[in-house]
């Protein structure tokens, strides 16, 4: 990365007030240059190929064409990294599904404190996105033949379902950040209804974690919900760490529960993957499977290493399939990963560890 080269940003927002706020806020940083703006998706579709920005900020709800519809149409032709700037809106996950890298919640521009917090969150995400891998929308048709690895990834086996199996007392712990909402879905999509308890920390602000859990609950065979303090971790249930809280696995007798408490950020995050993984290492030990997925930084690496040292089987997503190869890379570098694998082969590895595959 050339630290002297400014990152070229293009802003898409139909609100003149918020658009001007974005342009001014981004432009004040010496790392960025706002090279243009659009008032709607059609305007953006015309300008972006000509201006060739490094990263785009995109509103969700715009007249004529929504953000998700724009991405679905535009990204296969012009794969530019996109950061969503949105109110608390379920359609954020539609946009992430079709290729956006990450999102930031819109502030009230009249509130100086929340506006400053917004800018301090947005700028690092723009920096990360400018160097990220753009994931094509699901269902995008490629003219190139699939590689051997791609073909193998697409042949993910379906696990068998049984009333009881050897791994029923296991715990599966997953951590992710940038690009993680869709990576997590790719891993857990075919988990059977009798899957051991799953605990997940995805870096995400308050409000969005509940919507993400609701979205997964509609798609998966398992029950999925945002965790509450004292929830029991049980077979068939997936718990998502709530935004703004630190979630830990705790053990009472032979049963597992979660604690969710408001605390300081760890590694810059609440929830933090390290907080979850450290608690899993302490309480589940060799009964745990740990998975670290795409994300910037090193959160989760130390916790995953502790899990491995305590007997857990640990998996890290490989570079080629990560949106951002940060957290899995740091975990791999320090020896925290038992097996590194492409995203779509991770489910098979988990199933085999649990004895859920017949072959």
**Measured between alpha carbons, how far is 176 from 180 in angstroms, rounded to an integer?**
5
The CATH number that applies at residue 239 is: 3.40.50.180
| Of 12-26, 129-143, 215-229, 337-351, minimum mean pLDDT range | 129-143
Q: How confident is the model at residue 65 (pLDDT cuts 50, 70, 90)?
A: very high
Q: What is this structure's pTM?
A: 0.88
**Measured between alpha carbons, how far is 332 from 326 in angstroms, rounded to an integer?**
10
Model confidence pLDDT, tens digit, residues 87-99: 867 788 989 999 9
Q: What is the DSSP string of 223-243?
A: EEEE--TTPEE-TTEEEEPPT
Based on the residue annotation, tell me whether 142 is a catalytic residue of this protein. no
List the catalytic residue out of 25, 177, 279, 348: 177
Is 284 among the domain residues? yes
Is 137 among the domain residues? no
Domain range enclosing 255: 151-354
Q: Reduced to 3 states, what is the DSSP secondary structure of residue 25? A: helix
- Does one domain contain both 156 and 102? no
Output the six-digit token pair for 11: 């802003």
Is 138 among the domain residues? no
**Measured between alpha carbons, how far is 26 from 349 in angstroms, rounded to an integer?**
43
Model confidence pLDDT, tens digit, residues 131-173: 898 887 665 544 333 333 333 344 455 666 555 555 568 999 9
In the chain, the number of structural domains is: 2
Based on the residue annotation, tell me whether 177 is a catalytic residue of this protein. yes
* Residue 286 CA to its chain's centroid (Å): 26
Based on the residue annotation, tell me whether 299 is a catalytic residue of this protein. yes
Q: Is the peptide bond before 81 cis (omega within 30 degrees of 0)?
A: no
List the catalytic residue out of 54, 59, 102, 299: 299
For residue 112, what is the enclosing H or E element? Answer: helix 112-129
Is 134 among the domain residues? no
**Measured between alpha carbons, how far is 68 from 20 in angstroms, rounded to an integer?**
22
């Amino acid at each position: 990365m050339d630290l002297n080269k400014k990152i070229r940003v293009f802003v898409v927002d139909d609100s003149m007030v918020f658009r001007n706020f974005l342009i001014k806020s981004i432009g004040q940083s010496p790392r960025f240059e706002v090279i243009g703006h659009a008032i709607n998706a059609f305007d953006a579709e015309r300008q972006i190929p000509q201006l060739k920005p490094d990263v785009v900020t995109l509103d969700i709800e715009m007249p004529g064409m929504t953000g998700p519809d724009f991405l679905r149409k535009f990204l296969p032709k012009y794969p530019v990294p996109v950061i969503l700037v949105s109110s608390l809106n379920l359609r954020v996950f539609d946009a992430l599904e079709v290729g956006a890298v990450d999102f930031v919640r819109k502030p009230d521009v009249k509130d100086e404190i929340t506006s400053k917090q917004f800018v301090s969150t947005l700028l690092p995400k723009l920096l990360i996105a400018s160097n990220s891998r753009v994931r094509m929308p699901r269902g995008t048709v490629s003219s190139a033949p699939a590689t051997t690895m791609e073909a193998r990834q697409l042949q993910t086996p379906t696990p068998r379902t049984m009333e009881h199996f050897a791994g029923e007392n296991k715990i599966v712990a997953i951590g992710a950040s940038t690009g993680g909402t869709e990576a997590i879905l790719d891993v857990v999509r075919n988990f059977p209804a009798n899957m051991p308890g799953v605990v997940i920390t995805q870096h995400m602000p308050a409000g969005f974690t509940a919507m993400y859990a609701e979205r997964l609950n509609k798609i998966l065979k398992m029950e999925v919900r945002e965790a509450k303090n004292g929830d029991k971790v049980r077979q068939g249930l997936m718990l998502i760490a709530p935004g703004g809280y630190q979630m830990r696995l705790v053990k009472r007798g032979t049963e597992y529960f979660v604690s969710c408490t408001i605390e300081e950020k760890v590694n810059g995050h609440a929830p933090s993957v390290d907080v979850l993984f450290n608690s899993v290492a302490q309480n589940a030990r060799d009964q745990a499977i740990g998975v670290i997925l795409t994300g910037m930084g090193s959160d989760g690496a130390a916790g995953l290493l502790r899990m491995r040292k305590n007997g857990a089987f640990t998996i890290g997503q490989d570079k080629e399939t990560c949106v951002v190869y940060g957290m899995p890379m740091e975990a791999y570098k320090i020896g925290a990963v038992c097996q590194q694998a492409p995203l779509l082969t991770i489910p098979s590895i988990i199933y085999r560890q649990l004895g859920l595959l017949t072959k």
